[in-house]
Chains A and B, each alone.
Chain A
Amino acid sequence: MKALRMAAVCLTALGLTMAHAAPALTDEILIGELHPLTGPASFYGIPESRGIQLAVEEINAAGGVRVGDQSQMLRLMTEDDHSTPTAGVAALKKLRAADVRFIIGPLGSGVAPALFPIIDRDSGVTQIVDGTIAEGVTNGRNIFRNQAAVSQYDLAVADLFRSKKYASVAMMTDRFHAGFMGTQPALSETLKSLNATVAAEEYYKLGDTDFSAAMTKLVSLQPEVLLIRGYPAEGALITRQARQLGYEGQVVWEMVSPPSTVLKNISATEMEGVYNCIPPTTEDYIALGQDKALAFDKAYQAKFGTTPGELSTLSYDAVYILKAAFEKAGSTENEAVNAALAAMRPEDVPQLISGYVAHQDGRLFDDVGQVNLRGAVSIWQGEGWVPVPDLAG
């Protein structure tokens, strides 16, 4: 009787373990997604997660993914990384324990570098990074990114300086943003090569509220441009405090900044004329009247009752990129899928919304797994950002 009871306990424990691991059925492909669903970055993370949900539902409703001669459904497993490295690594381990072999995310520039060494050594997983802009988090083998790298943001800054021939700049950078800090020296050199004097480089951190000391110093130098690199809540506050202290030069942002978030922290009047240098976002594609973006916007609003986030289209695109890779590979083996991703061309994924430009060899990803998603300049007019197609004007 005792042995029987012990066996029952063991079987129950085994059953619970199996239930927790929940391996994918043979006719479905398990995709894991890692985004900040809580915490200060959740206003980016939740719309990304929703973009993925929407794509998965669309694909399944249309019959799933055609792998070889059979159709397979996508199943999504969502984990919250809180946009912190520790939670990110824990979430990755949880996904791997559940036998997830395809991962989309993360958003945080602190999280991606923490995940990179783990995934880089794990040939059993394929990752598409849809959020972070930090450098050095892809390898072109099993880690790819359909978001721009921060150096591609910087190209737009350089375009702006080249066009406007600004003579001097002061920079305010979030010193805990690995991406921006990583490219700061290179950007500084680029701007100097464009005959702009770098009057000062000052730093702040996420959550700071008082910038008066740095702004007093910067305003006294009267740089032609105040370049702010980081996140929108601090960007709004720095812009406001600089203006209050009498700064009359051009303010340039380099950050993903949804107008809804911006306007919660600064008035539209104070934002008028501020430039932003980032790749086009969901709102830009919608504003430009792009058909696929408009359809996405409609579907998103119908499902979630709210407008999509700035990065939602990237997450949506990432699912379709994976789908195309499964179909091209005719397999869900990681090695085959990785090879299909490495060889993929933008035209292989007709559902893509974002304006990826093929690399010189025609591929979507370059040798290190990075897409070509160049930064562009937009300007704040009225209640939001408006693309600036002709910089010379």
Chain B
Amino acid sequence: MLDLFLQQTVNGLALGSTYALVALGLTLIFGVLLIPNFAHGEFYMVGAFLTYALVMAGLNFWLAMALGALAVIALGCLIDLVAFRPLRGAPPLSLMISALAASIILQQTATLIWTSEARTIPTPVTGVLRTPFFIVTWMQVVVMASLILSVAAIWAILNRTRLGLAIRATAQNHDAALLMGISMVQVRLATFAIGAALGAIAGALLGATFPIYPTMGVNPVLKAFVVLVLGGIGSLRGAVLGGLFLGLVEVMVAGYLSTELQDIGAFTLLVLVLLIRPQGFFGTAQVER
């Protein structure tokens, strides 16, 4: 069985990249605005469906993905305006319920438009990379590369722009950022726009690998929350490494123990991390005053 270890490791990294890609947008919104955005799964789903619709209408995949992401950015800002902004200062439970409501409304709307039948976006990159040690599809390579590019782009925005500085300041101390004259409207819009765009890109790329359907966002967003807990909420590095770690654990459990234990393994890991290191691998412990 050890001869399969390298292949299973690559499988785990490929799966983990998909988790990390979804978790990136979620951790950004959660980290900056403290919104547990369950509707992030629907950004992912709408991104996939819009790309599918545009590709079916004859557009090039990459162009369709870009247009889909723009539409989902608009959707993200709308969701913030309608579902979250009126609840500023409300307890976290209210935000969570509002997020769940937005999620369900988007799922039902998608069902009305596209029906519940599963479909896959025609893949823009076909073929398989065969090496003496492992096999990986070119589309999986594209997903992994997109993860690296996304992280690099977010890092550049956060660390090399004034907007990024404002976002980081807000994430560190909301009240102090306000006192410094930072526009919260701008920060919210930018955070939701980046988060929604990441969700839409993840949806388009993964929709070319996995079936898409209106409730397709539910499971990935649950896994993304697991990733956030593993990696530490608000930590980009945590989202990436947490996602890769979760993918590896799931694949190793399925490959070496049993496929029936795959999800049990992931959620057992979640409980263990919560017990041993509640702030996650890369999160910082916070003291409530």
B173: min CB distance to chain A, Å: 39
Query: Residue-by-residue, is B2-29 near A (CB-CB < 8 Å gives 1, otherwise 0)?
Result: 0110011001101100100000000000
Considering the chains assembled together, what is the distance between the CA atoms of A309 and B210 in angstroms? Answer: 24
Considering the chains assembled together, what is the distance between the CA atoms of A216 and B48 in angstroms? Answer: 27
Residues of B141-160 at the interface with A, using a CB-CB cut-off of 8 Å, are none
Considering the chains assembled together, what is the distance between the CA atoms of A210 and B4 in angstroms? Answer: 17
Considering the chains assembled together, what is the distance between the CA atoms of A209 and B219 in angstroms? Answer: 10
- Say whether B260 contacts A203, CB under 8 Å: yes
- Say whether A212 contacts B15, CB under 8 Å: yes
A229: min CB distance to chain B, Å: 14
Considering the chains assembled together, what is the distance between the CA atoms of A38 and B252 in angstroms? Answer: 36
A69: min CB distance to chain B, Å: 46
Interface residue stretch chosen among A96-104, A190-198, A258-266:
A258-266
Q: Does A166 contact B (CB under 8 A)?
A: no
Query: Residue-by-residue, is A193-214 near B (CB-CB < 8 Å gives 1, otherwise 0)?
Result: 0000000001110010110111
Q: Does A167 contact B (CB under 8 A)?
A: no
Q: Does A175 contact B (CB under 8 A)?
A: yes
Q: Does A17 contact B (CB under 8 A)?
A: no
Known: A213-B8, A245-B7. 12 other contacts (CB 8 A): A39-B116, A40-B213, A42-B116, A42-B117, A175-B260, A204-B259, A210-B210, A212-B11, A213-B12, A213-B259, A237-B210, A261-B117
Considering the chains assembled together, what is the distance between the CA atoms of A212 and B254 in angstroms? Answer: 9
B251: min CB distance to chain A, Å: 4
Q: Which residues of the partner chain B approach A245 to less than 8 Å between Cβ atoms?
A: 7, 135
Q: Which residue from B120, B206, B211, B251 sits with its C-beta under 8 Å from A212?
A: B251
Count A-B contacts at CB 8 Å: 84
Chosen A-B contacts, 14 in total, with CB atoms closer than 8 Å, are A203-B260, A209-B209, A212-B251, A213-B250, A213-B255, A216-B4, A216-B7, A216-B11, A236-B120, A244-B128, A244-B135, A261-B118, A264-B118, A264-B211
Most B CB contacts (10 A, CB to CB) among A175, A202, A212, A246 go to A212
Q: Does A43 contact B (CB under 8 A)?
A: yes
A129: min CB distance to chain B, Å: 22
- Say whether B211 contacts A209, CB under 8 Å: yes
Q: Which residue from B115, B120, B255, B262 sits with its C-beta under 8 Å from A43?
A: B115
Residues of B232-289 at the interface with A, using a CB-CB cut-off of 8 Å, are 250-255, 259-260, 262
Q: Which residues of the partner chain B approach A43 to less than 8 Å between Cβ atoms?
A: 115-117
B243: min CB distance to chain A, Å: 13
B113: min CB distance to chain A, Å: 13
Q: Which residues of the partner chain B approach A40 to less than 8 Å between Cβ atoms?
A: 116, 118, 213, 215
Q: Does A233 contact B (CB under 8 A)?
A: yes
- Say whether B8 contacts A264, CB under 8 Å: no
* A264 in contact with B119 given A213-B262, A214-B259 (CB within 8 Å): yes
- Say whether A214 contacts B116, CB under 8 Å: no
Q: Does B60 contact A (CB under 8 A)?
A: no
- Say whether B250 contacts A265, CB under 8 Å: no
Residues of B89-142 at the interface with A, using a CB-CB cut-off of 8 Å, are 111, 115-120, 128, 130, 135, 137
Q: Which residues of the partner chain A approach B118 to less than 8 Å between Cβ atoms?
A: 40, 233, 261, 264-265
Considering the chains assembled together, what is the distance between the CA atoms of A124 and B213 in angstroms? Answer: 40
Considering the chains assembled together, what is the distance between the CA atoms of A214 and B260 in angstroms? Answer: 10
Q: Does A164 contact B (CB under 8 A)?
A: no
- Say whether B128 contacts A213, CB under 8 Å: no
Q: Which residue from B117, B135, B210, B255 sits with its C-beta under 8 Å from A217?
A: B255
Considering the chains assembled together, what is the distance between the CA atoms of A217 and B7 in angstroms? Answer: 10
Q: Which residues of the partner chain A approach B18 to less than 8 Å between Cβ atoms?
A: 210
Considering the chains assembled together, what is the distance between the CA atoms of A175 and B209 in angstroms? Answer: 23
Q: Does A71 contact B (CB under 8 A)?
A: no
* A237 in contact with B250 given A43-B116, A244-B135, A265-B119 (CB within 8 Å): no
Considering the chains assembled together, what is the distance between the CA atoms of A212 and B135 in angstroms? Answer: 11
Q: Does A12 contact B (CB under 8 A)?
A: no
Q: Which residues of the partner chain B approach A266 to less than 8 Å between Cβ atoms?
A: 120
Q: Which residue from B219, B250, B259 sits with its C-beta under 8 Å from A207?
A: B219
Considering the chains assembled together, what is the distance between the CA atoms of A175 and B128 in angstroms? Answer: 29
Which of chain B's residues has its CB closest to A40's CB? B116
Q: Does A220 contact B (CB under 8 A)?
A: yes
- Say whether B211 contacts A233, CB under 8 Å: yes
Q: Which residues of the partner chain B approach A244 to less than 8 Å between Cβ atoms?
A: 128, 135, 137
Which of chain A's residues has its CB closest to B130's CB? A246
Residues of A227-246 at the interface with B, using a CB-CB cut-off of 8 Å, are 233-234, 236-237, 244-246
Considering the chains assembled together, what is the distance between the CA atoms of A304 and B210 in angstroms? Answer: 30
- Say whether B219 contacts A216, CB under 8 Å: no
B147: min CB distance to chain A, Å: 15
Q: Which residues of the partner chain B approach A237 to less than 8 Å between Cβ atoms?
A: 210-211
A386: min CB distance to chain B, Å: 23
